[in-house]
Structure 1
């Protein structure tokens, strides 16, 4: 009994270390890729303008390798620690990105941006902790049936319509102005890549047990969808990184991506039906906190707001400012009286002269 407790305790420690390490890799990957995107500005078309010169830059591939390593470590962490602990730790990557962007990219979050960042992390953590338990599918046959459910098909059709409108209607006009456009495309498409990855994982698992799943059309459909979704998601994330502040992108992308994945997975595997009223209300509350955080991040991202500015609004300072204003008013009043008296004297002198 004691040996079992010791083993589970050591597994938990390993899982937490893997999860924390993955956040460092994932958080730093965005900074490295951003450095690469800045580097190519001097000799090639920017990624924000549709260029792909970053694919020839080794620094960008180094950032991609960091991201892949972080995701791999995070995947392994689930084998050692419960998802209840591993998933919320993913929010730490946002803080890693914020710190590194300040030190290496000279990008700063203003005071309201920091508050919004923390709200996004807290809100997404609430949503993840109260998300429905993942059920999944054990075989490709089960997955095939789930993929053909009318609710999921309707969701996919609606999602694709939204993505097409964002790409061809909204993006050309507002993509360079509104940070939510590129990140919405990236997150919506990215959530499909997660589902495709889960499905392809089932195919590989069945193949390892002796079933040649690569003879099934659904296996190639899942693999093709996975590649396309990853490429599209990567493309629009690079456009966002090349256009906007990495410290602002990190929390919004984390929230959007997490929300889209939880939503798509819940619809596909019918996980929402098992949610209690408490979990449902907590999820809505978490979404509300996220909405306020994103509002602060997006609306005030260019404002110069710091703690010094807040200090200037303290009651003591206000009193000093009013006192100074009153003193200034008295001086102006005295000057006005002096000018008025001088004007009266000069007028009297003119009258006497006449």
Structure 2
């Protein structure tokens, strides 16, 4: 047998667990390559979790106010304002994440908010834990792991000149033209034909969301680059992106609010998540070219992770019944001129309050 060579400290670096040297999974080159992206993932996950906490805190505040004998406006509740502050912090975390991680990765991490909201409702609001919620949470977590693992690592330093070049690139110009045509067709059916189907409303939200993601990532990237000492806020494209971000967000809220008024949240939440996430991924691929050099296996596993996340969100939300506050009965027994023997309860599905015992009135309603 040959003799083993003598080891000298200066001959090589074989330290384990150090993020600065070596060739292992936590070695210097690997860590330097992905640390920015990992920071974006952590910011997005933390931001979405704070959003789920804030929504449940606001829900708890509304329930407490509804149970009071003399209900006060919700904006007088300290608990409600605490939820609003957490919501703001969560949105700031999401916004900052776009400056460090690809848009195709940050957008699907919105499933963290759905997972967190479901389990917080079980733990603190005493909702029933169902098998579908557990299975959905498991699928969503597995999908999130695949997304984080197989998202290609691309440089996230965005300058104003890069954004300008992306804006005039042929793939993006064609994409915007197609998106405008589709949006105008949907808007025509929405305005002229009064078509307010959930798919029409949420498709418009998704088309606007794709532009929002492009603008948010551009603004966050230029701010991040400016904080490193290379000022980017003096370029006109920065303010153009700010205006685009604000305008598309405002119209998204309008259409999403109408969808929530017309349909149950159990239908709106999963459909909106699938549509908006898909449009955000497409916009990131086309505008920022995030999958340009990705291997075919990585693309397949990333799409599989998206599918698992979509299924998880669907399973979590489909069994979440809409909470109805208890509506008191209206006692009409003392109204003069009315032959009423019982109490009438408001019916949320019709324009009238219950039924009338007067046969004449019934005949008029039937005619």
Q: Is the 8 A contact 1:197 1:226 kept in 2?
A: yes
- 1: distance between equivalents of 2:189 and 2:60? 30
Residue 26 (structure 1) shift? 1.2
Partner of 2:293: 274
Partner of 1:133: 153
* Residue pairs, 1:48-59, within 5 angstroms: none
- 2: distance between equivalents of 1:105 and 1:199? 39
- 1: distance between equivalents of 2:148 and 2:127? 29
Cα shift readout 1:204-226 (whole Å, capped 9, x = no counterpart): 45666475743x43222111101
- 2: distance between equivalents of 1:83 and 1:196? 11
Cα shift readout 1:304-338 (whole Å, capped 9, x = no counterpart): xxxxxxxxxxxxxxxxxxxxxxxxxxxxxxxxxxx
Counterpart pick for 1:154 among 171, 174, 185: 174
Q: Are 1:24 and 2:46 an aligned pair?
A: no
**Normalising to structure 2: TM-score of the pair?**
0.56
* Residue pairs, 1:154-173, within 5 angstroms: 154-169=174-189, 172-173=194-195
- 2: distance between equivalents of 1:196 and 1:221? 9
Partner of 2:213: 194
* Residue pairs, 1:1-354, within 5 angstroms: 5=18, 21-31=46-56, 65-74=85-94, 90-100=110-120, 119=139, 122-123=142-143, 126-127=146-147, 129-136=149-156, 138-169=158-189, 172-175=194-197, 178=198, 180-204=199-223, 209=229, 211=231, 213-214=233-234, 216-246=235-265, 249-289=268-308
For structure 2, which runs of at least 5 residues remain unmatched after alignment?
1-12, 65-73, 322-367
The more displaced of 224-233 and 280-289 is: 280-289
- Structure with bigger helix share is 1
For structure 1, which runs of at least 5 residues remain unmatched after alignment?
40-53, 303-354
Say if 1:237 and 1:28 are closer, same or farther in 2 by CA, change over 3 A. farther
**Normalising to structure 1: TM-score of the pair?**
0.57
Say if 1:269 and 1:89 are closer, same or farther in 2 by CA, change over 3 A. closer
- 1: distance between equivalents of 2:170 and 2:195? 34
The higher radius of gyration belongs to 1
Say if 1:78 and 1:228 are closer, same or farther in 2 by CA, change over 3 A. closer
Cα shift readout 1:279-307 (whole Å, capped 9, x = no counterpart): 122234345546666777899888xxxxx
Partner of 1:324: none
Three-state SS of the structure 2 residue aligned to 1:91 is: helix
- 2: distance between equivalents of 1:240 and 1:37? 21
Structure with more relative contact order (C-alpha pairs < 8 Å, separation 6 or more): 1
Say if 1:125 and 1:279 are closer, same or farther in 2 by CA, change over 3 A. same
Cα shift readout 1:217-250 (whole Å, capped 9, x = no counterpart): 3222111101112212233333344444445544
Say if 1:226 and 1:117 are closer, same or farther in 2 by CA, change over 3 A. same
Residue 264 (structure 1) shift? 0.9
Q: Is the 8 A contact 2:136 2:312 kept in 1?
A: yes
Count the aligned residue pairs. Answer: 286
Q: Is the 8 A contact 1:196 1:225 kept in 2?
A: yes
- 1: distance between equivalents of 2:128 and 2:181? 36
Cα shift readout 1:144-182 (whole Å, capped 9, x = no counterpart): 11111111111122223333333442584243xx3x444
Q: Is the 8 A contact 1:248 1:297 kept in 2?
A: no
Three-state SS of the structure 1 residue aligned to 2:251 is: helix
The more displaced of 104-113 and 158-167 is: 104-113
- 2: distance between equivalents of 1:69 and 1:36? 19
- 2: distance between equivalents of 1:144 and 1:106? 51
Say if 1:256 and 1:270 are closer, same or farther in 2 by CA, change over 3 A. same
Partner of 1:306: none
Residue 115 (structure 1) shift? 5.1
Say if 1:88 and 1:218 are closer, same or farther in 2 by CA, change over 3 A. closer
Three-state SS of the structure 1 residue aligned to 2:292 is: helix
